[in-house]
A = this chain, B = another copy of it.
């Protein structure tokens, strides 16, 4: 489950309803490319905007479509009780692992987050990955807390945000974090533009938005990383730089990936949950120019 490329597909909606056909088309790309695992409902998968029933349906559908590919389902909420219900749902729907996301409304204390992870890992038997993404959840994990959580039975991985800086800086940061974690805890990098530097600095998995739409080039990157071919990793990531530039320009990956899925004919042009709106038509030519060559890879 926790190695190589973990692809995070979009969850396309149509008028607030799950667009199952479009989701199936996206899933078919990922299974055909042989991604190492799937990260269903994670940020780009819009879990935070979906009802409990919708989330369970996405996992059931993904389970049917994924074949033997391991499936991690994001369960996250402001409410601890809802997280427990979602975790049970995910287990019943056939997920192989949970990506556990604690969203802050009131600021949370470390002990509150610890107790929540403790309760979930006691109640559910699936392995758990910690979702560390302060830009969306507004919770900042200290290394100390990550260390405490990693010692809970069941916690197997942490998905960390991208780290800026040169190779040595990133390597030092990963080593520092690893020294706090329970041995064997898998560190996975996210923030796609930072994936190459994370992977070459010791992260063992790429929790990848890009991989959710462009799985072939993404898999080439993780394969080169496993082979220790740093030059190839950096060269492939450099080819994706125009995509990273679009993510920066549009304040994150989701709206760009949603537009790209529409341009590629996988989904309707408007596939986002409200209140999110699709990017305006005037932004589409630039996105098309960047993604069409990537889609042919």
Chain A interface residues (CB < 8 Å from chain B): 16, 43, 48-51, 78-83, 102-103, 105-109, 111-113, 115-116, 119, 135-138, 251-252, 254, 273-277
Contacts and interface: CB of A to CB of B under 8 A. Distances in A.
Contacts of A106: 43, 48, 136, 252, 254, 276
Contact of A49 (B105, B119, B138, B276): B105
A220 B250 CA distance: 49
30 contacts: A16-B81, A48-B78, A48-B106, A49-B78, A49-B79, A49-B80, A49-B81, A50-B79, A51-B79, A79-B273, A80-B273, A80-B276, A81-B273, A83-B275, A102-B275, A103-B105, A106-B252, A106-B254, A106-B276, A107-B251, A107-B252, A108-B275, A108-B276, A109-B277, A111-B277, A112-B276, A115-B275, A116-B275, A119-B274, A138-B138
Nearest to A112: B275
A277 B112 contact: yes
A102 B276 CA distance: 11
A239 B94 CA distance: 58
A49 B277 CA distance: 26
Given A106-B276, A119-B274, A138-B138, 17 more contacts: A16-B81, A48-B79, A49-B79, A49-B105, A78-B103, A80-B273, A80-B276, A105-B137, A106-B136, A106-B254, A107-B251, A108-B276, A112-B274, A112-B275, A113-B275, A115-B274, A116-B275
Contact of A274 (B81, B273, B275): B81
Contacts of A83: 275
Given A16-B81, A116-B275, A105 B51 contact: no
Nearest to A81: B16
Nearest to A274: B80
A115 B112 CA distance: 35
Nearest to A44: B106
